[in-house]
Amino acid sequence: MRRLPVYILIQTSGAMRGESIEAIKVGLETLVASLRQDPFALESVHLSVITFNRSPEQILPLTELENLQIPSIPQPEAAGTHLGEALEFICQRVDLELILSTHERKGDWMPLLFIMCDGRASDAQLFQQTVPVLKQKHFGSIVACLVGTPRTENVKQFTDNIINMDTKELLMRLSDSVGISGHEINTASVVADVFSDLVDEIKLDPLGSVIMLKKGCNPKLDLKLMIASHVDEIGLMVTDIIKVVSLLLAVLHAGEDAADIGLSLGARPQGGRIGEHCLQKLQGHNLFAFIFYRRDGGHPHVLQAF
């Protein structure tokens, strides 16, 4: 069976402490889990993990997916992000480990490279010298998975496949946007902004739909794939503000629940949490939904809808 070498390059410099390195660990676990669900990947993928800060280190040599144990990623301590030296090391490993095709046998598939970093390069001169060499290695694909406060100008020199792994800010933006059916424009704008660097064409139609086009890289293939997804959120229409206020007062006085209120005007008093002192702010607004969350960690449930 022909091997499909997959190299994963992970930045472990001091800049990656905290949420950044945790996002990388989750990303690595997700990648391996996804590959293990693919029968072809189970038979062909051989994965290698290389970390780098001031210098690169191969902490996992090319290993078949079936026998792979995800290595422990060291906690970032050292300063310096020598991305150029790390890419040079990758090129050396590919030269040493890739099995080329001969007249007697077929060699490895073109290798894949995933780079998990913030895009910075402390060794700027070596980085600029290494980029052309990297491009000559004929990787099947190079994917840059950026975390922290990324700098995309460096990675754009060798790949157009750039993914932002820091989902916390994205989830907050989506949660704070109002996107009930018929009024999805705010959420659609967030989605358009997130995908703007990942697609070739993007537009919003008057109905609040986001229409994006990503062109293929092989002009000989006449294949098209459409991915469709909902962008709106489910909401309840509240028509009687007086009853809502009365219900909230009863719940708050009971001291067992807290409420998360979404306003059709996009305002969310106290970050979405409603206290008794905020109830006056609700008057005069048309509420579209309300959900009550138990303070004991129970599942959210709607107590009553009007």
* Residue 272 pLDDT > 70: no
Reference 155, options 92, 86, 215; nearest CA is 86
Q: Are 213 and 201 in contact (CB under 8 A)?
A: yes
Q: For 272-280, what is the mean pLDDT? A: 39
Q: Give pLDDT, residue 113.
A: 93
Pair of tokens at residue 300:
């959210």
The C-alpha atoms of residue 23 and residue 29 are separated, in whole angstroms, by 10
pLDDT at position 293: 41
103: region left, alpha or beta (phi > 0 left; psi from -120 to 50 alpha) = alpha
Euclidean distance between CA atoms 105 and 234, whole angstroms? 56
Delimiting residues of CATH 3.40.50.410 domain(s) in the chain: 4-165
pLDDT at site 234? 62
pLDDT score at 253? 46
Spatial contact of 262 and 235, defined as CB atoms under 8 Å apart? yes
pLDDT of residue 237: 53
CB neighbour class for 36 (10 Å; exposed up to 12, middle 13-18, buried from 19) = middle
Tokens (6 digits) for 67: 């026998």
Q: What is the pLDDT of residues 1-12, one digit of tens each?
A: 789 999 999 998
- Of 19-28, 34-43, 225-234, 277-286, the range with the lowest mean pLDDT is 277-286
Instruction: Reduce the secondary structure of the chain to three states and give it as a string.
Output: CCCEEEEEEEECCHHHCCHHHHHHHHHHHHHHHHHHCCHHHHHHEEEEEEEECCCEEEEEEEEEHHHCCCCCCCCCCCCCCCHHHHHHHHHHHHHHHCCCCCCCCCCCCCCEEEEEECCCCCCHHHHHHHHHHHHCCCCCEEEEEECCCCCHHHHCCCCCEEEECCHHHHHHHHHHCCCECCCCHHHHHHHHHHHCCCCCEEEECCCCCEEEECCCCCCCCCCCCCCCCCCCECCCCCCCHHHHHHHHHHHHHHCCEEEEEEECCCCCHHHHECCHHHHHHHCCCCEEEEEEEECCCCCCECCCCC
Q: What are the beta bridge partners of residue 7?
A: 48, 113
Single-letter code of the amino acid located at 66: E
Average pLDDT over residues 131-150: 87
The predicted model scores a pTM of 0.59
As its CATH architecture, domain 4-165 has 3-Layer(aba) Sandwich (3.40)
